[in-house]
Amino acid sequence: MRGSTIVSTDRQPVYHNHMKRHTKGNFHQTAAPLLFLLPNILIFGLFIIVPAIQGLRMSLTEWGVFTTPRFIGFANFVELAQDAVFWKTFSNTIVYSLFTVSLIMVYALALALLLYKNTIKGEKIFRSLFYIPSLLSMITVGIAWRFILGDEMGIINYLLRRFGGSGIPWLTDSNLAMISIIGVSIWAQAGYYMVILIAGLQAIPIELYEAATIDGASRTKTFTAITIPLLRSTLLVVMVLSTIASFKAYELISVMTKGGPGYATKLIVQQVYQVAFLEDRMGYASAMSIVLMLIISIFTLVQFKFSGREQGYE
């Protein structure tokens, strides 16, 4: 048996050191996976890593679209620290993200719990109805909702006035404007996350629920002891994806409020666009983008840290 690769004792394969030496250099187990990954690695490197490095380099320069970049060290970051408008957009971004992500999680989970069992009549139609908004372009969604929420020309205010009420300043009051864009963001995106959560819920073995029922567990107990722990990894995916999306929200807000009134709904990405393309300060805009990237990274890492622990069940 010298040269044998596997020594079977208790029917479990055991790999010995000489086996590792043998497989080292095996094309199928070493180079082949790398070759399969190569296209993705190249695309990722070309379109993610290289632009990120380029962005970092640009953030250290003073540069307009039609001028030659001039190295200025960390001056852009120093200016950023004292830029009141940037910090306003920063706080807006945090508020928008916190509310959008947490409410999307709750709403999408509620929808998924209602619609995952295939027991309600017309369940698939409801799933489609809730999912359709996520297929629409955010620009279309923004235009449609501006048409609904507009102060003077909006449908809701038209109906309110028609029945003797007064209009509600959905988009001209600073607080209501933020609430409006959060609400529309949730409406537009929850369906997508609902589908992910339905897949997660359907992957939980039904036997666990049956065992819990036999043991006399209440619905709440089943939900907290079985559903949530086993859905944790899916919830983490939803949380990370929705957080990243919320930090990058641009089209919807640009169409619905243009970041206004004033700075009330202006997020960092809107400010980056304005500084880069309207004020022609590419270097400064790059510094903002770097800060945004760091914030997203920190949020994502924190989410992984607190939510990403593997859950097992006996």
Partner 1 sequence: MKKILGILLILVLVSTTVFAAGTKEETGKDVTLSVLWFNDANEDEVFLNTIDDYLQANPHVKLDMQIVAYNEFDQKLKLMISGGNPPDVARITTNTLSVVVDSLEPIDNHVADIEAVKAQFLPSMVAFASNPKGEFIAYPTEATANGMLINKTAYDKAGIDVDEVSKDWTWSEWESVVKKVVAANPEMKYGLSVDFTPHRFSTLMYQFGGHFLNEDQSNIEFDNPGTIAAIKWFKHVHDAGLVPKSVWLGSENPAELFQAGLVAGHIGGSWNINTYNKNVADFEWKAVRMPKAEINSSVPGGKFIASFKGSKNQEEAFKLMEAFADKTHNEMYSRDTFNIPSRVDAQVSYPSNSNDFEVFLEELKVTPAFTANEWKNTNLSKVTTYIREQIVEVLLGNITAEEAVANVDKKGATYFK
The CB-of-153 to partner 1 minimum distance in angstroms stands at: 6
> Is 261 among the residues that bind partner 1 (CB under 8 A)?
yes
Among 77, 126, 148, 174, which residue sits at the site for partner 1 (rule: CB under 8 A)? 174
Is residue 93 within 8 Å of 268, Cβ to Cβ? yes
> Is 185 among the residues that bind partner 1 (CB under 8 A)?
no
Is residue 93 within 8 Å of 247, Cβ to Cβ? yes
> What is the C-alpha separation between 76 and 68, in angstroms, rounded?
16
44-52, 125-133, 271-279, 305-313 -> range binding partner 1 (CB under 8 A): 271-279
> Is 260 among the residues that bind partner 1 (CB under 8 A)?
yes
Among 14, 23, 51, 279, which residue sits at the site for partner 1 (rule: CB under 8 A)? 279
> What is the C-alpha separation between 193 and 104, in angstroms, rounded?
8
> Is 183 among the residues that bind partner 1 (CB under 8 A)?
no
At residue 164, what are phi and psi to the nearest 5 degrees?
90, 0
> What is the C-alpha separation between 310 and 241, in angstroms, rounded?
19
> Is 283 among the residues that bind partner 1 (CB under 8 A)?
no
The CB-of-257 to partner 1 minimum distance in angstroms stands at: 7
> Is 165 among the residues that bind partner 1 (CB under 8 A)?
no
Between 172 and 303, CB nearer to partner 1: 172
> Is 65 among the residues that bind partner 1 (CB under 8 A)?
yes
> Is 280 among the residues that bind partner 1 (CB under 8 A)?
yes
The CB-of-162 to partner 1 minimum distance in angstroms stands at: 12
> Is 303 among the residues that bind partner 1 (CB under 8 A)?
no
Between 177 and 245, CB nearer to partner 1: 177
> Is 134 among the residues that bind partner 1 (CB under 8 A)?
no
Between 210 and 279, CB nearer to partner 1: 279
Is residue 179 within 8 Å of 186, Cβ to Cβ? no
Residues in the chain: 314
Binding mask 81-110 for partner 1 (x = CB under 8 A): ----x-------------------------
Secondary structure element (H or E) that encloses residue 62, with its range = strand 61-62
> Is 151 among the residues that bind partner 1 (CB under 8 A)?
yes
| CB proximity list for 292: less than 8 A, separation 6 or greater | 93, 247, 268, 269, 272
Pick left, alpha or beta for residue 6 (phi over 0 → left; psi -120 to 50 → alpha; otherwise beta). Answer: beta
> Is 66 among the residues that bind partner 1 (CB under 8 A)?
yes
> Is 163 among the residues that bind partner 1 (CB under 8 A)?
no
* Nearest alpha-carbon partner for 126 in 139, 116, 136: 116
> Is 142 among the residues that bind partner 1 (CB under 8 A)?
no
18-26, 238-246, 260-268, 292-300 -> range binding partner 1 (CB under 8 A): 260-268
Is residue 61 within 8 Å of 71, Cβ to Cβ? yes
How far, in Å, are 77, 78, 243, 272, 295 from residue 81 at the CA level?
6, 5, 24, 15, 14
Secondary structure element (H or E) that encloses residue 173, with its range = none
Residue ranges in contact with partner 1 by CB under 8 A: 65-66, 85, 150-153, 169, 171-172, 174, 177, 257-258, 260-263, 274, 277-280
